[in-house]
Amino acid sequence: MSAIAIIPARGGSKRIPRKNIKLFNNKPMIAWTIERAIESELFEHILVTTDDSEIASVSKNCGATVQSLRLPSLSDDQTTLIEVINYEANKLLRANFKPSDLLCCLYPVSPLLDFDHVKLGLDMIKKKKVDFVLSVKEFEQHPLRAFEMDSQGLIQYKFAEYSNTRTQDLRPLYTDAGQFTIAKIETWAKTKTKLEGPILPVLLGKFDVIDIDDAKDWDFTEEIHKIRNSGQM
């Protein structure tokens, strides 16, 4: 059972313009994912799907394969990641890749990604009867203790029945860590709207993943990345 990496990298980032190729600790952001995927030796092929010629050029220079630019219909703000991977999985089937081969979606903005976690995920899906393996992290602030704001600017508990429940007494909840998702090519080819079927998690730690949504997140993650690469964490 072979493994293929696919990295979706659209050009139209709104919150951080050109995020996928913006310099992060002196390299284009996507370079960290591509180069470490190559170094991991986990994949027979490393593909990048993009609508952007500059991202395509950077990706090729880093050692990834870009077969052709993504269709405009799969590159707008309404297109979901699952739709993109579904399309690419069907392309692989038409190119005579084995349906049982594994297709690992790696996110381009994942500079803290530890490929030991990816290897664990690949091993898990080979041994367990599941459809997907997904990187997840535990919510730092439990969602059942959330407040919501009304039109008057006043807040109240969203889930009032848990307002007096201690956080340690609530069952942990998890969210997609946005680092990798693994499934067989044939599973991706049939998945159009959401991940369904049995899903196994790879649980990441607090500093294994940081959401990079603005300039402050970017700067903070760069510092964490420098520390990790220096061996101090």
| pLDDT tens column, 119-175 | 999 999 999 999 999 999 999 899 999 999 999 999 999 999 999 999 889 999 999
Number of domains in the chain: 1
Any domain includes 76:
yes
* CATH code of the domain in which 94 resides: 3.90.550.10
User: Would the pTM of this model clear 0.85, i.e. be above it?
Assistant: yes
Cβ-contact 179, 113 below 8 angstroms: yes
Q: In this predicted structure, what is the pLDDT of residue 158?
A: 96
Q: In this predicted structure, what is the pLDDT of residue 70?
A: 92
Any domain includes 120:
yes
Q: In this predicted structure, what is the pLDDT of residue 152?
A: 95
Any domain includes 108:
yes
Any domain includes 150:
no
Number of helical (H) and strand (E) elements in the chain, helices listed first: 6, 10
The range of the structural domain enclosing residue 69 comes to: 3-137+175-229
Question: pLDDT below 70 — which residues of the chain?
Answer: 231-233
Q: In this predicted structure, what is the pLDDT of residue 233?
A: 55
Q: In this predicted structure, what is the pLDDT of residue 232?
A: 56
Q: In this predicted structure, what is the pLDDT of residue 15?
A: 85
Cβ-contact 13, 110 below 8 angstroms: no
Any domain includes 147:
no
Q: State the alpha helices, DSSP H only, in the chain.
A: 29-40, 53-61, 81-94, 115-127, 185-190, 215-229
